Amino acid sequence: MNFLTQLLVSVYSRMLNLYPGRFREEFADEMQVVFRDSVNETARDGILRLVILCLRELGGLPFNILREFWHELGRKETVMVTNEKVEQDLSNSVRSSHWEAFLSALPFAVFGVACIINKVRVPWPIGIYVFLTFYCLVLLGLLIGLVKAFPRWAYSYLGGSLVFAWWWTSMQTRGLKLFGYTFGNEAWGWRAWAPLFITVGVAILLTRSIRPLRELVFGIWQDWTFLSLVTYSLIGFMMLLYDEVRSPYTIAFMTASTLVVCASAWIFMRIESHLHRLGILLGGFFGSLIIDRICATTWDLYTYNELPAQPTMPWYNSLPEIIFYTVLWSPIIWLPALVGLFKTTFNKEPTS
């Protein structure tokens, strides 16, 4: 029986890894002790009782895990209310958990994958469906974010949905069939924005207040680097699309760019310093731009488009271009955070 007890406790402790990190750090050791006590005591009443205990633990596990992850989604509200450091510390923010960082990087990853699927020339209209699935994902994230008082990770979804709606406005419907309705061959226009507004409307209806929008603005007011993250969605979009690129290694370059952009979004959430955060966003842009330029040297645009041949240039000839674009884009990424910095400087009360 002792072996069985040890085995069950060992399996249970492995299952505790499925809970969100914060919950695990706080309660996993205790839960293991309680489970061990339960097993030890129940084992005296016979194997049947022990089976019932295990079934009860196992049956409740999926719901309990989901409940804790759902709670984690809206954790910002609790942190902001209880942690006075957020208000006081002007140069640093609260470090996000791995889970929040994952959620924040997810839209970039999914968009990267959608672009890759589209690039392998899947039959029409699968490519469109893939992009619309991405739109649904970011809208779902936005909805959850709005309902859960706009936690930090939700800014990626806000950026993703804004950029997508803007991009899709000028895309052609090309006779697409959607939910039994057949579109003509015109631009999506305002219809690209309709799901976004509906999502915001649903969030307002669900919460029966404009609190979701207030929390969104309040979050940026508290930490302007998140507006930089929203802006970064546009850069992610530009650097992952690889439009009109026909290099034989396009997929490899797209994968590398996706990883760089995702990693920068992930690290952005995991570091506290505002300055480092902006640095990492700029680094993500710089890194993906280098990959893009290397990709440009692996195929001949002129030959592909049957244009007069041009002399081949090594990739490092693009360096001035890379620096130019990085310098051009840095104010766009940094501006929101600089506004925030001015705000906090002016709001700072004299200490003496």
Partner 1 sequence: MKNQSTSPLTEATFFILLSLSPAPKHGYAIMKEVREISGGRIVFSTGTLYGALRRLLEQGWIKRVSDPEPNPTDRERKTYTLTDKGRKVVNKETERLRALLRTAEQRTSESPL
92 has which bridge partners? 273
CB of 26 to partner 1, least distance (A): 7
> Does 23 contact partner 1 by CB under 8 A?
yes
Helix (H, G, I), strand (E, B) or coil at 20: coil
CB of 216 to partner 1, least distance (A): 16
Residue with Cβ nearer partner 1 (8 or 290): 8
Q: Which stretch binds partner 1 (CB under 8 A): 32-40, 102-110, 229-237, 307-315?
A: 32-40
Give the residue, chosen from 8, 68, 240, 282, that forms a contact with partner 1 under the rule CB under 8 A. Answer: 68
Q: Tokens for 219? A: 């979050």
3 has which bridge partners? none
Residue with Cβ nearer partner 1 (71 or 293): 71
Distances (CA, A) of 231 to 123, 236, 275, 324: 32, 9, 16, 19
Residue with Cβ nearer partner 1 (56 or 343): 56
> Does 135 contact partner 1 by CB under 8 A?
no
Residue with Cβ nearer partner 1 (49 or 174): 49
CB of 29 to partner 1, least distance (A): 4
> Does 57 contact partner 1 by CB under 8 A?
yes
Helix (H, G, I), strand (E, B) or coil at 53: helix
CB of 12 to partner 1, least distance (A): 8
> Does 27 contact partner 1 by CB under 8 A?
yes
Distance CA 330, CA 283 (A): 10
> Does 78 contact partner 1 by CB under 8 A?
yes
**Listed residue (141, 107, 146) closest to 229, CA to CA:** 107
Residue 317 φ then ψ, to 5°: -65, -15
DSSP state of 298: T
Q: Which stretch binds partner 1 (CB under 8 A): 19-27, 89-97, 255-263, 315-323?
A: 19-27
Give the residue, chosen from 35, 135, 164, 268, that forms a contact with partner 1 under the rule CB under 8 A. Answer: 35
DSSP state of 205: H
Do 118 and 127 touch, CB atoms closer than 8 A? yes
Distance CA 67, CA 73 (A): 10
Residue with Cβ nearer partner 1 (8 or 137): 8
Q: Mention every residue, 6+ apart, whose C-beta is less than 8 A from residue 162.
A: 196, 230, 233
> Does 33 contact partner 1 by CB under 8 A?
yes
242: left (phi over 0), alpha (psi -120 to 50) or beta: left
Which residues between 81 and 110 bind partner 1 (CB under 8 A)?
81
**Listed residue (204, 109, 107, 124) closest to 159, CA to CA:** 107
Residue with Cβ nearer partner 1 (80 or 165): 80
**For residue 30, how many C-alpha atoms fall within 13 Å in the half-sphere facing its CB?**
5
231 to 270: interface string for partner 1, x by CB under 8 A: ----------------------------------------
Distances (CA, A) of 290 to 32, 297, 313, 319, 320: 49, 11, 15, 8, 11
Residue with Cβ nearer partner 1 (77 or 300): 77
Residue with Cβ nearer partner 1 (30 or 349): 30
Give the residue, chosen from 45, 47, 56, 187, that forms a contact with partner 1 under the rule CB under 8 A. Answer: 56
Binding-site size for partner 1 (CB under 8 A) equals 27
Residue with Cβ nearer partner 1 (81 or 178): 81
Distance CA 138, CA 159 (A): 9
DSSP state of 233: H
Give the residue, chosen from 34, 136, 171, 323, that forms a contact with partner 1 under the rule CB under 8 A. Answer: 34
Site for partner 1, rule CB under 8 A: 12, 19, 23, 26-27, 29-35, 37-38, 56-57, 59-61, 64-65, 67-68, 71, 77-78, 81
